[in-house]
Amino acid sequence: MIAFVSGTVAALAPELAVVEVGGVGMAVLCTPGTLAALRVGEPARLATSLVVREDSLTLYGFADDDERTVFELLQTASGVGPRLAQAMLAVHSPDALRAAVAGGDEKALTAVPGIGKKGAQKLLIELKDRLGAPTGTARVGAPVSASWRDQLHAALVGLGYAAREADDAVAAVAPEAEAAATPDVGLLLRSALRTLNRR
Protein backbone atom coordinates (compact mmCIF):
# COMPACT_ATOMS: atom_id res chain seq x y z
CA MET A 1 0.00 0.00 0.00
CA ILE A 2 1.15 3.55 -0.73
CA ALA A 3 0.60 5.37 2.58
CA PHE A 4 1.56 8.83 1.35
CA VAL A 5 3.21 10.71 -1.49
CA SER A 6 5.57 13.60 -0.95
CA GLY A 7 7.04 15.77 -3.66
CA THR A 8 6.55 18.78 -5.89
CA VAL A 9 3.08 19.47 -7.27
CA ALA A 10 3.55 19.19 -11.04
CA ALA A 11 -0.04 19.88 -12.12
CA LEU A 12 -3.55 20.48 -10.78
CA ALA A 13 -6.90 19.63 -12.36
CA PRO A 14 -10.46 19.95 -11.00
CA GLU A 15 -10.35 16.44 -9.47
CA LEU A 16 -6.69 15.51 -9.18
CA ALA A 17 -3.17 16.60 -8.44
CA VAL A 18 -0.02 15.27 -10.09
CA VAL A 19 2.80 14.99 -7.56
CA GLU A 20 6.32 14.32 -8.81
CA VAL A 21 7.94 11.62 -6.69
CA GLY A 22 11.45 10.54 -7.68
CA GLY A 23 10.97 11.58 -11.29
CA VAL A 24 7.55 9.90 -11.57
CA GLY A 25 4.30 11.86 -11.76
CA MET A 26 1.72 10.31 -9.44
CA ALA A 27 -1.90 11.21 -10.32
CA VAL A 28 -3.81 11.51 -7.04
CA LEU A 29 -7.59 12.03 -6.89
CA CYS A 30 -8.41 14.61 -4.21
CA THR A 31 -11.37 16.51 -2.77
CA PRO A 32 -11.72 20.21 -3.66
CA GLY A 33 -10.71 21.10 -0.09
CA THR A 34 -7.42 19.24 -0.44
CA LEU A 35 -6.75 20.65 -3.91
CA ALA A 36 -7.37 24.21 -2.66
CA ALA A 37 -4.33 23.97 -0.40
CA LEU A 38 -1.96 22.84 -3.19
CA ARG A 39 0.09 25.06 -5.51
CA VAL A 40 1.90 24.04 -8.70
CA GLY A 41 5.67 24.06 -8.18
CA GLU A 42 5.43 23.83 -4.39
CA PRO A 43 6.12 20.79 -2.20
CA ALA A 44 3.20 18.76 -0.85
CA ARG A 45 2.61 15.68 1.27
CA LEU A 46 -0.65 13.81 0.81
CA ALA A 47 -1.85 10.83 2.81
CA THR A 48 -3.05 8.28 0.25
CA SER A 49 -5.20 5.20 -0.21
CA LEU A 50 -4.63 2.88 -3.17
CA VAL A 51 -7.80 1.33 -4.61
CA VAL A 52 -7.10 -1.78 -6.70
CA ARG A 53 -9.56 -2.96 -9.34
CA GLU A 54 -9.21 -5.57 -12.08
CA ASP A 55 -8.67 -2.88 -14.69
CA SER A 56 -7.20 -0.01 -12.68
CA LEU A 57 -5.05 1.22 -9.83
CA THR A 58 -6.40 4.50 -8.43
CA LEU A 59 -4.64 6.62 -5.84
CA TYR A 60 -6.82 8.83 -3.62
CA GLY A 61 -5.15 11.67 -1.74
CA PHE A 62 -6.04 13.43 1.52
CA ALA A 63 -4.96 16.43 3.53
CA ASP A 64 -4.15 14.23 6.56
CA ASP A 65 -4.24 10.70 7.96
CA ASP A 66 -7.60 11.24 9.67
CA GLU A 67 -9.30 12.04 6.37
CA ARG A 68 -7.80 8.90 4.82
CA THR A 69 -8.92 6.76 7.77
CA VAL A 70 -12.50 8.03 7.47
CA PHE A 71 -12.39 7.46 3.68
CA GLU A 72 -11.47 3.81 4.27
CA LEU A 73 -14.02 3.33 7.07
CA LEU A 74 -16.82 4.77 4.93
CA GLN A 75 -16.19 2.05 2.35
CA THR A 76 -16.93 -0.68 4.92
CA ALA A 77 -20.62 0.28 4.58
CA SER A 78 -22.49 -1.60 1.85
CA GLY A 79 -22.96 0.40 -1.33
CA VAL A 80 -20.16 2.87 -0.57
CA GLY A 81 -17.28 2.78 -3.03
CA PRO A 82 -14.28 5.09 -3.20
CA ARG A 83 -16.05 7.69 -5.35
CA LEU A 84 -18.98 8.06 -2.95
CA ALA A 85 -16.66 8.05 0.07
CA GLN A 86 -14.66 10.85 -1.54
CA ALA A 87 -17.86 12.77 -2.34
CA MET A 88 -18.84 12.53 1.34
CA LEU A 89 -15.49 14.00 2.34
CA ALA A 90 -15.82 16.73 -0.29
CA VAL A 91 -19.05 17.89 1.36
CA HIS A 92 -18.20 17.22 5.04
CA SER A 93 -14.99 17.20 7.09
CA PRO A 94 -14.20 13.91 8.87
CA ASP A 95 -15.44 15.32 12.16
CA ALA A 96 -18.64 16.65 10.60
CA LEU A 97 -19.31 13.13 9.28
CA ARG A 98 -18.69 11.66 12.74
CA ALA A 99 -21.07 14.21 14.24
CA ALA A 100 -23.72 13.50 11.58
CA VAL A 101 -23.55 9.74 12.16
CA ALA A 102 -23.42 10.06 15.96
CA GLY A 103 -26.40 12.43 15.93
CA GLY A 104 -28.40 10.48 13.34
CA ASP A 105 -28.39 13.53 11.04
CA GLU A 106 -30.00 12.16 7.89
CA LYS A 107 -30.17 15.60 6.27
CA ALA A 108 -26.39 16.03 6.46
CA LEU A 109 -25.86 12.79 4.54
CA THR A 110 -28.48 13.54 1.88
CA ALA A 111 -26.53 16.77 1.16
CA VAL A 112 -23.97 14.49 -0.52
CA PRO A 113 -24.65 13.92 -4.24
CA GLY A 114 -25.60 10.26 -4.74
CA ILE A 115 -27.12 9.69 -1.28
CA GLY A 116 -30.91 9.65 -1.02
CA LYS A 117 -33.15 9.38 2.03
CA LYS A 118 -33.11 5.57 2.18
CA GLY A 119 -29.37 5.43 1.56
CA ALA A 120 -28.76 7.94 4.36
CA GLN A 121 -30.87 5.91 6.81
CA LYS A 122 -28.95 2.76 5.92
CA LEU A 123 -25.58 4.50 6.28
CA LEU A 124 -26.50 5.91 9.70
CA ILE A 125 -27.19 2.37 10.93
CA GLU A 126 -24.11 0.78 9.34
CA LEU A 127 -21.61 3.50 10.27
CA LYS A 128 -22.85 4.19 13.80
CA ASP A 129 -20.21 2.08 15.56
CA ARG A 130 -17.47 2.46 12.95
CA LEU A 131 -16.58 6.15 12.69
CA GLY A 132 -16.35 6.87 16.41
CA ALA A 133 -17.24 10.04 18.27
CA PRO A 134 -16.41 13.54 16.97
CA THR A 135 -12.93 14.63 18.01
CA GLY A 136 -13.74 18.33 18.13
CA THR A 137 -11.57 19.20 15.14
CA ALA A 138 -13.21 20.67 12.08
CA ARG A 139 -11.90 21.27 8.61
CA VAL A 140 -9.93 24.48 8.75
CA GLY A 141 -11.43 27.28 6.69
CA ALA A 142 -9.77 30.59 5.98
CA PRO A 143 -7.97 31.74 9.15
CA VAL A 144 -9.11 35.33 8.57
CA SER A 145 -12.46 35.97 6.91
CA ALA A 146 -11.03 38.46 4.42
CA SER A 147 -8.35 36.07 3.12
CA TRP A 148 -10.73 33.50 1.62
CA ARG A 149 -10.82 35.56 -1.60
CA ASP A 150 -7.05 35.36 -2.07
CA GLN A 151 -6.94 31.63 -1.27
CA LEU A 152 -9.82 30.83 -3.63
CA HIS A 153 -8.40 33.00 -6.41
CA ALA A 154 -4.98 31.33 -6.09
CA ALA A 155 -6.56 27.86 -6.13
CA LEU A 156 -8.52 28.61 -9.33
CA VAL A 157 -5.47 30.08 -11.07
CA GLY A 158 -3.50 27.02 -9.90
CA LEU A 159 -6.11 24.83 -11.61
CA GLY A 160 -5.45 26.64 -14.88
CA TYR A 161 -8.25 29.23 -15.00
CA ALA A 162 -7.45 32.72 -16.25
CA ALA A 163 -7.25 35.48 -13.63
CA ARG A 164 -10.39 37.11 -15.05
CA GLU A 165 -12.35 33.82 -14.82
CA ALA A 166 -11.11 33.38 -11.26
CA ASP A 167 -12.24 36.94 -10.40
CA ASP A 168 -15.73 36.24 -11.77
CA ALA A 169 -15.99 32.92 -9.88
CA VAL A 170 -14.85 34.55 -6.61
CA ALA A 171 -17.49 37.26 -7.05
CA ALA A 172 -20.15 34.60 -7.76
CA VAL A 173 -19.52 32.74 -4.49
CA ALA A 174 -19.04 35.87 -2.35
CA PRO A 175 -22.62 35.77 -0.93
CA GLU A 176 -22.09 32.13 0.17
CA ALA A 177 -18.76 33.03 1.81
CA GLU A 178 -20.13 36.09 3.59
CA ALA A 179 -23.04 34.06 4.99
CA ALA A 180 -20.59 31.74 6.76
CA ALA A 181 -18.97 32.65 10.08
CA THR A 182 -15.68 31.13 8.88
CA PRO A 183 -15.62 30.58 5.10
CA ASP A 184 -14.49 27.07 4.12
CA VAL A 185 -12.26 27.53 1.07
CA GLY A 186 -12.71 23.90 0.02
CA LEU A 187 -16.50 24.20 -0.16
CA LEU A 188 -16.23 27.59 -1.87
CA LEU A 189 -13.89 26.05 -4.47
CA ARG A 190 -16.52 23.42 -5.27
CA SER A 191 -19.15 26.14 -5.74
CA ALA A 192 -16.79 28.22 -7.87
CA LEU A 193 -15.99 25.22 -10.10
CA ARG A 194 -19.72 24.57 -10.58
CA THR A 195 -20.15 28.22 -11.60
CA LEU A 196 -17.30 27.98 -14.11
CA ASN A 197 -18.55 24.65 -15.49
CA ARG A 198 -21.99 26.14 -16.15
CA ARG A 199 -20.31 28.61 -18.47
Euclidean distance between CA atoms 44 and 85, whole angstroms: 23
User: What is the residue-averaged pLDDT of the chain?
Assistant: 85
Q: State residue 73's pLDDT score.
A: 94
3-state secondary structure 31-99: CHHHHHCCCCCCEEEEEEEEEEECCEEEEEEECCHHHHHHHHHHCCCCCCCHHHHHHHHHHCCHHHHHH
Give the per-residue pLDDT at 133: 79
pLDDT digits (tens, 9 = 90+) for 14-31: 889 999 999 999 999 998
| DSSP count for the chain of H helices, then E strands | 9, 5
pLDDT tens digits, one per residue of 102-158: 999 998 898 888 889 999 999 999 998 888 877 765 443 333 333 678 778 877 776
* Amino acid letter, residue 4: F
pTM for this predicted structure: 0.69
What is the tens place of the pLDDT at every residue in 42-68?
A: 999 999 999 999 998 999 999 999 999
Q: What is the pLDDT of residue 142?
A: 32
Contact 40, 10 (CB under 8 A): yes
> Higher-confidence residue: 35 or 184?
35
